[in-house]
Amino acid sequence: MSKALATEPRTRRVFAIISHPDAGKTTLTENMLLASGAIHQAGKVAARGEARRTQSDWMKIEQERGISVSSSVMTFEHKGLTFNLLDTPGHEDFSEDTYRTLTAADCAVMVLDVAKGIEPQTLKLFEVCRLRDIPIITFINKLDREGVDPFDLIAEIEDKLALDVVPMQWPAASGRRFRGIADLRTNQFLAFAKQDSGEDHHWTPMDGNSIGQTFDDDALLEEFQMEAELAREYPDFNEQSFREGHMTPVYFGSALRKFGVLELIDALAEFAPMPQAEPAVKAGQDVEIKPTDKEVSGFVFKVQANMDLNHRDRVAFYRMVSGEFKRGMKLKTADGKGLSVHNPVMFFAQDRELAQEAYAGDVIGIPNHGVLRVGDSLSESGKIKFAGIPNFAPEILRRARLEDPLKAKHLRKALESLAEEGVTQLFKPNFGADMIVGAVGSLQIDVMRERIKTEYGLGVQFESPPFQTARWVTSDDPAKLKAFVDKNMMNMAEDIDGDPVFLAKSAWDIGYAQEKNPHLRFLTTKERR
Ligand code: G4P
């Protein structure tokens, strides 16, 4: 094994931030990049040589769209570690995209607004993390504003998320009375500087003289010391319990005031797990692929098309699981499609540069002409297959109607392309020429309409079809499945993989079909195999 293959994966950390909209994810992301030195000014990117462009064209497209529709990756370095932050869209309508992105993360930071605690989207995203037992670090944000008593917040986390909670720090009040945070392990205090300065970093002993000056209010100091004493009663932090997703350490701060952000990065450096072995199937056998295995392997968790309108290229975001990737290498999907990766892209803050080599825990963008799809495993031998990434049964179905019927072929191509990218799902009814589009949230439909117009120049109307819901149908008995498909021709469709989908008027219809056909399974999620 080369030295780099043995050591590089140990220095990678892949994480995502989950939060309810407005809790401060964007602000925290930006200030993490600032605190780590990846960017020097909010919204700007540090130039690191000629090879990098300062502003990416791709970002411009996103800005013009007015909404960040992609989960991109941002890389920064801190204390000799390389962090890959996978950005998950906060809007509820993009939860499918978020689910996929979380399959590529090894750790999550859960951001809570100190005044609001656990909100609906926090809960939803947390449940996705729990499906994979992703370890979670909690960051309670906006301490510069009046908030809920931290003891109550901790009780709420314990209660709603069924997690063991360990405060690693304790805040001295909040809002106008906010004075700073104590590190409960080292007994040091970090005073909250009123001016926005990320540089001022003076931890002082809790029992020293300076703490009295910080407080200038004896009653407040007494209250804080009493609370901090009580906070020590929580159980000790247990790394294994955290790794298994049962325990969350809690940190406090203000992303906007850049306060507590560096400490959060330190916490990630200390606790976020390095890339681990991943279960897979290799040539029919269940195996574990280790980060230090020689063969390059990984999976695609996101595809973004038309980043550059002049070249109808797609970029597949590939999470490496093992091996030593070199630029120009030839990789194969598990279903035998091969491609040479000449222009792999790495993402530094908002900037891109060509990757010469990559290791487990790295995320590289692979430009391709539609070969790669979300959920594809990609390895040197083409024999490694990681567990699929789920598709979710759509909650919204729409029939696509062209303004110019002569463009039907173009529309089909556009819808297929967007479905392959995972923007929306596409169902082709077995009967008739309609194309039915499915989405988990209505914003997905808006983005699709906009993209069909700008990227393909097609005017499309979306109408309500006579169906409201869809389920994938499977059975261990192919004859029974075929009989069902034949009998329900008017309600059957195929998804982009050619798998059968039952389109129903209501959930009641699905229940009825299930009752009548006990040998069939009507599924709300599907994993591509
Ligand atoms: P999101 O990505 O989770 O949706 O949240 P975002 O960072 O956009 O933050 C939402 C709002 O909360 C923003 O205010 C932001 O400035 C504010 N915010 C984030 N962190 C803190 C904090 O630590 N303290 C305080 N007081 N506010 C914070 P906005 O008014 O919606 O936008 P803007 O006009 O300030 O940009």
3-state SS, 180-243, equals: EEEECCCCEEEECCCCCCCCCCCEEECCCCHHHHHHCCHHHHHHHHHHHHHHCCCCCCCHHHHH
CA 85 to ligand 1 center in whole angstroms: 19
Torsion (CA) 214, 175, 185, 251 in degrees, nearest 10: -150
- Ligand 1 and 258: CB distance under 6 A: no
Query: What's the pLDDT at 338?
Result: 92
- Ligand 1 and 29: CB distance under 6 A: no
Query: What's the pLDDT at 94?
Result: 54
- Ligand 1 and 208: CB distance under 6 A: no
pTM: predicted TM-score of the whole model, two decimal places: 0.82
Greatest CA separation for the chain: 82
Beta pairing partners, 366: 316
- Ligand 1 and 144: CB distance under 6 A: yes
Q: Running along the chain, 529 residues long, what does each successive block of 10 average in pLDDT?
A: 93 94 89 79 37 36 38 82 83 68 94 96 86 93 97 97 97 93 94 63 80 83 94 96 97 95 96 96 93 96 70 82 96 92 77 84 89 91 86 86 86 90 89 88 81 88 91 95 95 93 94 95 80
CA 113 to ligand 1 center in whole angstroms: 10
User: Candidates 19, 26, 27: which one to mutate for ligand 1, based on the most atoms within 8 Å of Cβ?
Assistant: 27
Is residue 158 within a helix (H) or strand (E), and if so which, with residue range?
helix 150-161
Residue 382 φ then ψ, to 5°? 75, 10
Whether the predicted interface score ipTM is above 0.95: yes
217 CB neighbour count, 10 Å cutoff: 14
Distance of alpha carbon 126 from alpha carbon 292, whole angstroms: 30
Within 13 Å, how many C-alpha atoms sit on residue 505's CB side? Answer: 5
CA 154 to ligand 1 center in whole angstroms: 22
Torsion (CA) 138, 144, 148, 149 in degrees, nearest 10: 80
3-state DSSP assignment of residue 289:
strand
217: Cα separation from own chain's centroid: 43
Report whether 390 belongs to an annotated binding site: no
Query: What's the pLDDT at 190?
Result: 93
- Ligand 1 and 22: CB distance under 6 A: yes
Query: What's the pLDDT at 63?
Result: 45
- Ligand 1 and 171: CB distance under 6 A: no
3-state DSSP assignment of residue 369:
coil
CA 142 to ligand 1 center in whole angstroms: 8
